Structure 1
Amino acid sequence: MHDSTLPLARRDLIAHRLDAGQSVHSGALATEFGVSEDAIRRDLRALAQQGLCRRVYGGALPLSPASGPVAARQAEAPAQKQALAQVACGLIQPGMTLFLDTGSTVAHLAAHLPVLPDLRVITNSLPAAAVLMQRNDLSLVLIGGGVDPSTGGCTDARAQAALALYRFDLCFLGACALSQKQGLAGFDLADVDFKRQLIDRSAETALMMTTAKLETTAPYAIAGLDAVADYILAADAPAPVADALRAAGARVHLAHPDRSMT
């Protein structure tokens, strides 16, 4: 397809693919549209300036869909999140001190946390705490501070100071985006700072992630792929992403639909 005389139409087609959650590569686009890679790079720069993508070497990644308030995201892909939570429960052992981070997927884990002896749970997530406060079989601590509606939890300076008082056997991290080239990323700077400290305070870190967030990006870097020991992904996660996580030294657990909870 030769489209060199219609840069706006070409740009719209690229934007449509990014909006659909597809990553794009400048070389492949240049061949497809019959234009130079410089022309494609100009398109990607313009789209990035509009906030429609974030440029990476050789192409661009779509922005993660996880930019809205956690309350709105709670009802998205419930079966997939429950399947992820079931697999994640298998990582939890008696006597552990857990940290549950903010995020709608982690909130699903809180709703299905197993009954195990001497379990201690620390969280900055109000939805997770609201679920767990109904239970009398575990010890629960809520880290406080200013509540951010977009994350559903506390991530400000007060919360970050409180985090320094603890250490965790296992933390279930929340993240807005994951890509092979850029690692883990988020939309809120205070939340990202909190997550970086959380990784440092944890002996092991696990991450549940829905497929819609894979190969997407967000403005602020959390950590590289090697910061997480266990990734729990949906069964339809792209094989190259799972392979990249294994290459980074992580264990990858796939959650199949027939394992989702009812």
Structure 2
Amino acid sequence: MRLALLLALVAVELLPGRQAVGAEPSRPEQVQSDVSQRVISIQSNFTGIEIVLFGSIDFSRAPSPDEAPYDVIMVIRGPNRPVVVRRKEQIAGLWMNGASQTFPSVPGFYAVLASRPFRAVAPEAVLKKLGIGFSNLDFGKTAGGETADDGFRANLTRLQQEHGLFQESDDAISFLGRSLFRGSVALPVNVPIGRYTTQVFLFRDGKLLSQSQSSLQVEKVGVERVVYMLAFHYPFFYGLLAVLMAVSAGLLAWTVFRRE
């Protein structure tokens, strides 16, 4: 009788889905991330900088460091700005500006880093929804409310890439152990100032598990900041100051080199 009761208890314990008393249920994976620098100061000797993005996966289910089932995509995006793209046309042997198109909302900087080719990480529909990749960026509607011409859009992307302001890097994120990862991106010397956002997406088998977001500030300091503030926020005083400086330089040169 006791043997039959013991066997019944063991069978109940082995039933699928039964958890041991006091055992914590499994939690979904969560990604945490940050950047190496929250503030980047631009002075006259600024030649570009490399920033490091790093993070970890809480409640990771990776069996070992060499068998991580996860994919990570990082997106760094600068402040949006309107950009005018003009087509060069040859008229009477001279190259002149022809047709143009204005894109009202273009990121001043945009970079995508991935642990492997990001188009193999998730379906195109998911990448489009998250705005991952050059082709999935939304530059806004044109002045007439129409969709932008593909030729102008392609040339805008090409020019941004040539200036180092648009970057796509596959296999740029490396895992360090079961849950830690890192990646780095180079900000060029012509990087625009403003607030940047960094987004980190965690995938497994093409499915988005979690995402994390942080930010950093790129700003001018010293004399460069004063000149920038005058030029963009007080253009009248900036122009007046430029004229006064030019007149002062001319008078000084005349005083030094004038003949008796």
With normalisation by structure 2, the TM-score equals 0.25
With normalisation by structure 1, the TM-score equals 0.25
Greater fraction strand: 2
Greater fraction helix: 1
